[in-house]
Amino acid sequence: MTDHQADLLQGTLDLLILKTLALGPEHGWGVSQRIQRMSHDVLQVNQGSLYPALHRLEQKGWIEAEWGTSENNRKAKFYSLTRRGRAQLEAEQDQWERFSAAVARILEAAEAGPLPETSPLPETV
């Protein structure tokens, strides 16, 4: 697609799916469209990894699936957030914010001058 679309960071897909579903039940294709739309076309979900991720989250009990009817009147599998999924979303969101803040601090410091004493990166999410 276009140049400005960034690859999703490993592990962030789960977070994005949970966040998208927090807005309401959606089927697989809808989830990918929502992510693309909400990121103003910056984030493009690798469609191939979307379904394994959905199944993984379902196995973990964070989302649940239900058969419904899609906009083109087809039978579709709609995913929605469970209570546990909502708690997980909050935790992951919190972690992500701390992580991105840390990365931002490093980038600012690198621009400002020599590196301070290095500290290991927090573990990836």
Q: Of 5, 6, 70, 121, which lies in the binding site for another protein, with binding defined by CB under 8 A?
A: 70
Q: Of 59, 73, 118, 119, which lies in the binding site for another protein, with binding defined by CB under 8 A?
A: 59
Q: Which residue has the tokens 């649940």?
A: 64
Please give the single-letter amino acid code of residue 2: T
Counting contacts by CB under 8 A, is residue 56 touching another protein?
Answer: yes
Q: Of 11, 52, 68, 116, which lies in the binding site for another protein, with binding defined by CB under 8 A?
A: 52
Counting contacts by CB under 8 A, is residue 86 touching another protein?
Answer: no
Q: Determine the Cα–Cα distance for residues 89 and 74; give it in Å rounded to an integer.
A: 29
Q: Determine the Cα–Cα distance for residues 44 and 68; give it in Å rounded to an integer.
A: 25
Counting contacts by CB under 8 A, is residue 48 touching another protein?
Answer: yes
Is residue 120 classed exposed, middle or buried when 0-12, 13-18 and 19+ CB atoms within 10 A define those classes? exposed
First to last CA, the chain: 27
User: Per CB under 8 A, which of residues 17..46 are in contact with another protein?
Assistant: 27-29, 33, 46
Residues of the shown chain interacting with another protein in the complex, contacts defined by CB under 8 A: 27-29, 33, 46-49, 51-56, 58-61, 64, 70, 72, 74-77, 82-84
